[in-house]
Amino acid sequence: MGRRPLLTEVRQRLAETRVVTLTGAGGIGKTRVAARVVDEERDGHRDGRWWVELSSVGDPALVLPTVATAIGLQAPAAVALTELIADQICDRRALLVLDGCERQWGPVVDLVIFLRTHCPNLRIVATSRQVLGVSGEAVVRVPPLTVPPAGVSVAPESLAQYEAIALFLDRAALAGSGLRLTDDNAEPVAELCRTLEGIPLAVELAAARSVALSPEVMLEQMCNRLRLLDDGYVDAPERHRSLAACAAWSFDLCTDGERALWSRMAVFSGGCDFHAVEAVCVGDDLDAELQTDEIPGLLASLVDQAVLNARHSRDGSVRYTMPAYLAAYGRQQLDDRELLDRWRGRHAQWIAGLAVGFRAGWTGGRQGSLLRDVRREHANVRAALDFCASDLALSELVLGIVTDLDLFWVTTGLANEARHWLGVGLASQRGKPAERALGMLLAAKFAGLQYDLTDARALLARGSSAAETADDDHARGLLHVLSAVLAVWDGEFDAAVEAAQAAVPLLRSSDDAELLGLAVVGLAMAVAGDREAAVAAYERAIARSEEIGETFRRSLALSGLGELALEGRELARATELTSQALRMKVALDDRMGIAVGLDSLGRIALAESRFERAAVLLGAAQAIWDAIGMRETGNPFVRMPTSWESLHRCRRRLGKTAFRTAFRQGASLTQKRAIDFALTDELDLAESDRASLEESPLTRRETEVAALVAEGLSNPEIAARLVISVRTA
């Protein structure tokens, strides 16, 4: 199914070097790729093409006789077969394929070295889960089949262009399942192939199951994938009849140390780096299976055996990932020995330490790198929280991890997830009083960010009582901050000022919290009409932020100054301040902040009578709000008119058709293109793209927003017509 670029690469390598090894995890398709290469190389090796199946050879002494038989050599027993094989091939232009070398790796390596020396025109293709390691060897790592990217909607008729889906449909048809792609099952089929990681064996086994199970049901059962995908072809090699057998084949070939590391690394989710392996996978001094100084060599060995994939980052670091079915097998080995919870607990403690480090280092000038680190470990964070929630001894870690990662959830646009885990942590009734108070208050904040004001107020009331019980100044300060924000939303501006001013002295023990307090004072003063006091508060926040190398809160203060400049019709200054804030948000990849910046620049464009630009930017901001599940009116820590009012003004000035086209154009932009347009005012949209935008349908929410605005509905009417779905904890 496809794989044309891979075949081209293998043939190119074969033209350049004499030994090519196809390596990769079991079931990745090494044998089939080799077979295709042999078929396509028939003209280049006129003197012979030989295929040697070695995976079934259990005795090392049988390797040479098996090769001899494959090349047509009839030799008496007890002779030097290596030399006879070389003499038989001699200087012939031939191709020798050694399939499944990993089981008899040593004898195969010896043979390859000898043949490479004595047969100058021989080309060798080896398939092996472990590289041969001989000089001059070209290693080609066979990748998974292509799958649709996550988060991208693909029409059913276009899905078959992805190799994994084409294979799934083909094998399902052969199995007589009657499965056909429809609008209803296209996404489940795509998600199933993504979950199976495009591994051909897994896809084929799932296709066989499609006779009895729908793609949706198979997805629900992926937690038991080894048991689910166990019905392969009866004429397939034993190791390819199930995922469990495929994993067991590799596991049995490993040393005790490799097996120990494989099993322990299976507790990671989404990969890990070297330091994480050291932190999690090595026990105490009494750990007889694994020692710290063994880790580098064992990692290299597992990479060579295709148990791990090593991915090199731009910063020079290496990240290790394990195919999901191999990880499931590794966890099964731990579970069988009643060791799984021990290593999952160590993994959870590592994540707790990561979260503490994130909070402690937040105002030290490393915000961008800290966010990148935690985002890279997001899957591990989820896995750790999930385990802690199910383990009574570790359940108190949930609140600590979630609250320490507060600004990770905010900047990454994960309010739903933060609310979920905060709810889990609070429901456990574990944790110190101050920690529980903070958990309630942060839950109120995230509810507010999603404009779930009923839940926000209820949580704030609980948090107020908990903060007093805990006698914790930080919790009291955050309580005042959130009270000020809610007062702003309620139009109680004097109460907002009072609460904001009360917050600042309580938050001085933390640089970040103090900066937050100053930003909220600026907001409260601005809405109360005290422009001078608002500017002073924002400028104090900026000055303090610059002293400590902080970026996140500084961008909030700059946005606040930009809003004040916009209100004062200082449009050039408003653009400068807001653009500066947006650049900071981009550096942090702060999705909520980027949406705020695009929205603000859109309203500045509206004030400049640049209506098409305004509609494009407002559409781009709307798309991000929808994607992160936050209220479209924006970030409550920055004073701004509602986006709805801006959309109405745009619609009136542009007209219904022009507004819809421009808004749709903005909503269809990638985040990068939207930012580039916001900061450079350059957007090259081809006429064909414009025509497509005018003809193509909007997403459901985009259609609702644009249509209601185009109809001229008032804000209350829009609010009544729109349904904003918020998942609560």
Q: Is residue 525 part of a domain?
A: no
Nearest-angstrom CA–CA distance, 85 and 89: 6
Q: Is residue 232 part of a domain?
A: yes
pLDDT category, 711, cuts 50, 70, 90? low
| Last residue in a domain, options 279, 304, 338 | 338
Residue 727 has pLDDT above 90, yes or no: no
Which of 57-71, 583-597, 679-693 bottoms out in mean pLDDT, i.e. has the lowest?
679-693
| CA angle at 175 for the pair 173 and 176, rounded to the nearest 5° | 65
- The domain total for the chain is 4
Q: Is residue 473 part of a domain?
A: no
Cite the DSSP H helix spans in 405-530: 406-412, 415-427, 433-449, 453-470, 473-490, 493-506, 511-527
Q: Are residues 581 and 693 in the same domain?
A: yes
Q: Which of 305, 313, 320 is nearest to 271 (CA)?
A: 320
What is residue 122's DSSP assignment? E
| Rg over CA atoms, the chain | 31
pLDDT at 440: 97
Boundaries of domain holding 278: 253-338
pLDDT above 90 covers what percent of the chain? 72
pLDDT at 649: 83
Q: Is residue 455 part of a domain?
A: no
CATH of the domain at 23: 3.40.50.300
pLDDT at 80: 84
Q: Are residues 136 and 229 in the same domain?
A: no
| CA angle at 588 for the pair 585 and 589, rounded to the nearest 5° | 80
From the centroid of its chain, how far is CA 155?
23
pLDDT at 431: 82
Mean pLDDT (whole number) for 700-721: 51
Q: Are residues 562 and 689 in the same domain?
A: yes
Residue 692 has pLDDT above 60, yes or no: no
Residues linked to residue 97 through DSSP beta bridges, in sequence order:
51, 125
What is residue 723's DSSP assignment? -
Q: Which residue has the higher pLDDT, 333 or 509?
A: 333
Q: Are residues 232 and 291 in the same domain?
A: no
| CA angle at 101 for the pair 100 and 102, rounded to the nearest 5° | 100
Nearest-angstrom CA–CA distance, 346 and 396: 15
**Which residues neighbour 706 within 8 Å (Cβ) at sequence distance 6 or greater?**
659, 660, 663, 664, 698
Q: Are residues 164 and 119 in the same domain?
A: no
Render pLDDT for 443-497 as a digit per residue (tens, 0 to 9).
Answer: 999 998 888 888 999 999 999 999 999 989 999 999 999 999 999 888 899 999 9
Mean pLDDT (whole number) for 42-68: 91
Q: Is residue 470 part of a domain?
A: no
Q: Which of 289, 277, 367, 352 is nearest to 556 (CA)?
A: 367
Q: What is the mean pLDDT of the chain?
A: 89
From the centroid of its chain, how far is CA 707?
33
Q: Are residues 289 and 240 in the same domain?
A: no
pLDDT at 719: 47
Render pLDDT for 102-141 as a digit per residue (tens, 0 to 9).
Answer: 999 999 999 999 999 999 999 999 999 999 999 999 999 9
Segment 383-388 long-range contacts (CB within 8 Å, at least 24 positions apart): 383/267, 383/268, 383/269, 383/344, 383/347, 384/347, 384/348, 384/350, 384/351, 384/352, 385/351, 385/421, 385/424, 387/344, 387/345, 387/347, 387/348, 388/348
Q: Which of 122, 162, 119, 123 is nearest to 144 (CA)?
A: 162
| Last residue in a domain, options 316, 338, 360 | 338
Render pLDDT for 221-248 as a digit per residue (tens, 0 to 9).
Answer: 998 999 999 888 888 888 888 999 999 9
CATH of the domain at 283: 1.10.10.10
pLDDT at 696: 42
| CA angle at 243 for the pair 241 and 246, rounded to the nearest 5° | 75
Q: Is residue 314 part of a domain?
A: yes
Residue 634 has pLDDT above 80, yes or no: no
Q: Is residue 55 part of a domain?
A: yes
Q: Are residues 559 and 702 in the same domain?
A: yes
pLDDT above 70 covers what percent of the chain? 90
pLDDT category, 726, cuts 50, 70, 90? very low
Q: Are residues 98 and 214 in the same domain?
A: no
Residue 723 has pLDDT above 80, yes or no: no
H-helix or E-strand spanning residue 141:
strand 137-141
Q: Are 460 and 439 in contact (CB under 8 A)?
A: no
Render pLDDT for 128-182 as a digit per residue (tens, 0 to 9).
Answer: 999 999 999 999 999 999 999 987 778 888 898 999 999 999 999 999 998 989 9
Q: Are residues 240 and 314 in the same domain?
A: no
Residue 609 has pLDDT above 90, yes or no: yes
| Last residue in a domain, options 99, 114, 141 | 141
Q: Is residue 147 part of a domain?
A: no
Q: Are residues 276 and 215 in the same domain?
A: no
pLDDT at 709: 52
**Which residues neighbour 226 within 8 Å (Cβ) at sequence distance 6 or greater?**
242, 243, 244, 247, 325, 328, 329, 332
Q: Are 77 and 95 in contact (CB under 8 A)?
A: no
DSSP 658-693: HHHHHHHHHHHS-HHHHHHHHHH------HHHHHHH
**Which residues neighbour 625 within 8 Å (Cβ) at sequence distance 6 or greater?**
595, 631, 632, 634
Render pLDDT for 300-357 as a digit per residue (tens, 0 to 9).
Answer: 999 999 999 999 988 888 999 999 999 999 999 998 888 999 999 999 999 999 999 9
Residue 725 has pLDDT above 60, yes or no: no
Q: Are residues 257 and 208 in the same domain?
A: no
pLDDT category, 510, cuts 50, 70, 90? confident
Nearest-angstrom CA–CA distance, 356 and 545: 21
pLDDT category, 689, cuts 50, 70, 90? very low
pLDDT category, 684, cuts 50, 70, 90? low
Q: Are residues 562 and 706 in the same domain?
A: yes
Residue 691 has pLDDT above 70, yes or no: no
